[in-house]
Structure 1
Amino acid sequence: MEDNNLVSVIVVTYNQHDSIARTLDSILMQKCRLPIEIVVGDDASTDGARAVCEDYVRRYPDIVRLMPAAPNKGVVDNYFDCLLACRGKYIADCAGDDYWTDPKKLDKEVEIMEADASVTIVHTNWRTYNEDTHETKDNTIEQFSAPKTDGKQMLEAIITQTTAPVVHLCTALYRSETIKRCYDANIDLFRNKDLGCEDLQIVFMLALNGTVAYLPDVTMTYSTGKPSVSNQCNHAKQFRFVRQTAMLSWLLASRAGIDTERTRWFFSLRVYELLMHAFRSGDAKLKPVALECMSTWNVNPDIKIKTVLAVMSNTVLWNVMLGVRRAFVALKRLLRIVRLS
């Protein structure tokens, strides 16, 4: 049952022993006019992260709730199991390797939501932190910087984002009733593990159903530099991620009847990326999958796509070009070492 005097914060984590305490501490430091609960979904971590979460439950039993231990679910089921367990009027989330930096983050967002019932989601700016180099960088890409925007005006941008997300969900606060209603009506979009992510459909549906509010304040640090679902070293795995998220964008665009020059460019770009990951992986089985996506997304191949297809059509040529690419990458790495020495 929803509690109209509560903010729920979802924290999903998997093998983040070294960062999960930082995440939880950043939520516990919040000074909010409404009480908060933290719903933690540990996805069968093997590095001791769950023990850290259990310690927080012992220390903050009235705030921190840890979802029951279960076999590994994957990020999609883990997230939405947590979402359905949330009791708050509003929901926020913070990934287990990210952290909030503004102790008034939730309070600022609650104030906006309480004052305007048309606002379905409010989000803020953020910065990145590279865990390997320890470099911090402010996000400078603010596509919709007005305090409030009709969400329908943002739909095209949301499904065609290629660099920074239009709405970084870990900065956001959204209405529980709205997202749960959308979830019930579109379970195929929310629970389909083959679509690869949980945030894109949430942001899209919230924008489709109301006003999106924005605060330029930096309230969150996004951790980068380590392999993750969206940042993987393996080209075959990256192929799968690109295909999944692009397919989700296609389904959202189709459901909302969005077919523009921008969306056609976006899906052409995604086909090219799929082919390049297939080429770099050396896995011939990925090529027909990319071609199937090209057909599904109604992409007319441009010169870049035709060039990659031509290279991959001949096994000898493919291997030769892979060798050339490896040599070029090795040379760049060597030159970088020389410059640093």
Structure 2
Amino acid sequence: MSSEVKVSVCVVTYNQEKYIAECLQSLVDQVTDFPFEIIVGEDCSTDRTREIVLEFQKKYQDIVKPLLHTENVGANQNYLMTHAKACGKYIAHMDGDDYALPGKLQAQVDFLDENPECNMVFHRMNFIDGEEYVLSAEISNRILAYKFYRSDIIEFVAIGANSSKMYRKELREIKLPDFNLVDYTVNVVQVDSGYAAYCSDKALGVYRRGIGISGSLAVNNAVFNSLNYFIKIYPECKLQINTSAWAWFLSNIKNNKRTKWLFLKIIFQTGVILGLYRYIASRGFRKELSGL
């Protein structure tokens, strides 16, 4: 094994004392044929999260490298600052309330090594819903073989769980927009001229449902800002932006979110009624992706 770090796993955490130990243990236990580091962005938690992170640092000094903020910087800045510390050729992301399954890092690295045009790679995630451990849906051959280019990510939005993402280090240098980011925004920008893909038919991580901010008004506002941004810098993706806006508008209608009018504005801005038909036609594919 070379002493040079090949993978940096970036863990972001705040007030997750119930979960962070399981998250970190699942990462230090990964068996690989390359060295890796775990950078933990700890955002001034008010519970025992920081204490637990420091315990792991003491036990695994060569692997666990805490980034201990002196004041609470918020989820957006914690993400950016943690990823900025990564030294590896490849960078993986992990939320502190999720955890890895055996073989995760090796499978993703092998895939990126073997597919030089692939810029980011995802995998299936099992999930915990309350107290219940649930197996994710089997991945279909069409998704396993699919190459998600920028236009696809704009259109389909949630192509993979954030804690299943690994990407090439050079993509970190791509300038991101100056507003609160969600993983959707980052994926669209960072995929660059390459593509994203799934590395395996196996589930290689576990996601906890109902813990984060998915579906909140803050997320809806961030997605609206993202779509406005995409209109300006990716005009060639107008149809895909319109399709995405239809998806968000209809979801907001279903869940009675006041942000629905923001997405209706995007629909009128992009002015492509064909996007509604594309959304309807792709619902089966979207449902498959949502189960992974």
Whole-angstrom CA distance in 1 between matches of 2:63 and 2:214: 30
| Cα drift, residue 145 of structure 1 | 2.2
Residues 158-307 of structure 1 aligned to structure 2 (within 5 Å): 158-161=153-156, 165-177=158-170, 179-182=171-174, 186-187=175-176, 189=177, 191-193=178-180, 195=181, 197=182, 199-214=183-198, 215-226=200-211, 228-230=212-214, 238-257=216-235, 258-260=237-239, 263-271=241-249, 273-274=251-252, 291=261, 294-298=264-268
RMSD over equivalenced CA pairs, Å: 2.8
Contact 1:246 1:270 in 2 (8 A): no
Identity rate, percent: 22
Report the count of equivalent residues: 267
- Considering Cα pairs closer than 8 Å and 6+ residues apart, tell me whether 1 or 2 has the greater RCO: 2
Deviations 1:66-117 (A, max 9, x none): 1132222221110110111111111001111111112x21112212222332
Q: Secondary structure at the match of 2:196?
A: strand
Q: Secondary structure at the match of 1:200?
A: helix
Q: 1:307: which partner in 2?
A: none
Q: 2:89: which partner in 1?
A: 89
Q: 1:145: which partner in 2?
A: 143
Q: Secondary structure at the match of 1:88?
A: coil
Distance 1:263 1:293, change over 3 A: closer
Q: Secondary structure at the match of 2:205?
A: strand
In structure 2, runs of 5+ residues without a counterpart are: 274-292
Q: 2:131: which partner in 1?
A: 133
Letter aligned with residue 161 of structure 1: F
| Cα drift, residue 220 of structure 1 | 0.6
Whole-angstrom CA distance in 2 between matches of 1:137 and 1:87: 33
Distance 1:87 1:144, change over 3 A: farther
| Cα drift, residue 21 of structure 1 | 0.3
Task: Normalising by structure 2, report the TM-score.
Answer: 0.80
Q: Secondary structure at the match of 1:259?
A: helix
Deviations 1:227-251 (A, max 9, x none): x2215xxxxxx22321212321342
In structure 1, runs of 5+ residues without a counterpart are: 232-237, 281-285, 303-341
Moved more, 18-27 or 39-48: 39-48
Letter aligned with residue 242 of structure 1: N
Letter aligned with residue 160 of structure 1: E
Distance 1:172 1:295, change over 3 A: closer
Moved more, 268-277 or 88-97: 268-277
Contact 1:93 1:171 in 2 (8 A): yes
Q: 2:286: which partner in 1?
A: none
Q: Secondary structure at the match of 2:135?
A: strand
| Cα drift, residue 34 of structure 1 | 1.2
Distance 1:141 1:239, change over 3 A: farther
Q: Which has the larger radius of gyration?
A: 1
Contact 2:5 2:89 in 1 (8 A): yes
Distance 1:107 1:273, change over 3 A: closer
Contact 1:98 1:220 in 2 (8 A): yes
Whole-angstrom CA distance in 2 between matches of 1:136 and 1:98: 14
Contact 1:250 1:297 in 2 (8 A): no
